[in-house]
Amino acid sequence: MGEVKNDAAIMAALGRQMTQAVQKQTVAASNLANLDTPGYRTLEVSFSDALDSELQAGVMTVTNSKHLGGPTVGAPNGAATSESAEAPDLASRRDGNNVQIDRELLSMSKAAADFSAAQTVLAAKFRLVRYAINEGR
């Protein structure tokens, strides 16, 4: 029975990783779309929001209420959500825009790699389940 719980926890964690990767890609795509918008400020998914999502989902536990401040961001039923905030310490151009194309393309590539890694693990898990089902026949 413990194995089922572990499998469910792993599947949920992989789902959250994929969701966060999509969120990071969406924010980076939005930044790239506003590359030439005067006054546009670069957004990013903050680490604290991702950490709060993991706490809310029960992946990590807080042993003392003074540690980490507890969860503040998250969705019901363990779904991971993150808010985007302005990226700090980026140089602005004359028009007030601070989007850096190289930074955004790198962010999209990292998010794609994270998504792909989670997808590969999920596919392997499903292959094992399919194998177990087919061997029973």
The Cα–Cα gap between 12 and 24 comes to 18
Residue span of the structural domain in which 93 resides: 2-135
The Cα–Cα gap between 30 and 104 comes to 10
Which runs of consecutive H residues, i.e. helices, occur in 34-137?
A: 47-57, 101-135
Domain count, the chain: 1
* Beta carbons of 21 and 115 less than 8 angstroms apart: yes
Residues in the chain: 137
pLDDT tens string 26-83: 999 999 999 999 999 999 997 655 566 666 665 555 565 655 544 433 444 444 456 7
Q: pTM, whole model, 2 decimals?
A: 0.69
